[in-house]
Amino acid sequence: MRDSEKKLFLLDAMALIYRAYYALNKNPRINSKGENTSAVLGFTNSLYEILKKEKPTHIAVAFDSFGPTLRHVDFSAYKANRESMPEDMVLSLPYIRAIIEAFRIPLLEVPGFEADDIIGTLAKKAERAGFTVYMVTSDKDYGQLVSERIFMYKPAYMGNDISILGEKEICDKYSIQRPEQLIDILGLWGDASDNIPGIKGVGEVT
């Protein structure tokens, strides 16, 4: 990295917390109080690795707001098929927030909006300000935001190395010409994880 390069990492907290929790689901980490610390351990490891290896000049962590979002107003069935957050994970959240604050990293949360709304807005603003931006998440929806200076960054996971997706990787993965076309692709396919129906007979080729 050049000394003058401004390097911003934006972490999607809940995406990383869920990922960490379920990665250790078969062999959860239990502390002396009987508490499941898998989510805390996994999230903290990912955060520490980014700070140590990537040395960002700027960093922030975004959380989803609890309660309905603007998407629920437009589509009442949005994410209605999802199970409640596991109690172990709920109990982990205050610890994770405390760790983020202990690192003196900004914690971002806006009522009525999800982390991807916050990250998408900041990523585009930072790009215009000359930053190289890394959106730390495994959520495919972020692919539409990728550009010459905005990347998806997937931390190491279950034996797989770090994965950084730029314009070429997104376009090749979805057979599109520009990352923003991913909006159309996902609109046609629908998204079962968000309970969004697609066009009947249209779906990802597997």
| Domains contained in the chain, CATH given | 7-174 (3.40.50.1010)
Contacts of 156 (CB under 8 A, 6+ apart): 46, 49, 162
Average pLDDT over residues 130-138: 97
Considering only CA atoms, which of 27, 35, 15, 32 is closest in space to residue 88? 35
DSSP the chain: --TT--EEEEEEHHHHHHHHHHHTSSS--B-TTS-B-HHHHHHHHHHHHIIIII--SEEEEE-PPSS--HHHHH-TTTTTTPPPPPHHHHHHHHHHHHHHHHTT--EE--TT--HHHHHHHHHHHHHHTT-EEEEE---GGGGGG--SSEEEEE--BTTBPPEEE-HHHHHHHHT-SSGGGHHHHHHHH-BGGGTB---TT-----
Global pTM reads 0.84
> What amino acid occupies position 11?
L
pLDDT single digits (tens) 3-37: 468 999 999 999 999 999 999 888 889 999 999 99
Q: Are 19 and 157 in contact (CB under 8 A)?
A: yes
- What the block records as the tokens of 23 is 């990665």
Percent of the chain topping pLDDT 70: 82
Q: Are strands 150-154 and 163-165 parallel, antiparallel or unpaired?
A: antiparallel
- What the block records as the tokens of 144 is 């539409």
pLDDT single digits (tens) 87-124: 999 999 999 999 999 999 999 999 989 999 999 999 99
Contacts of 13 (CB under 8 A, 6+ apart): 43, 61, 62, 63, 64, 96, 100, 115
Angle (nearest 5°) at CA 110 between 104 and 112: 155
Q: What was the pLDDT predicted at 1?
A: 46
- What the block records as the tokens of 125 is 């603003």
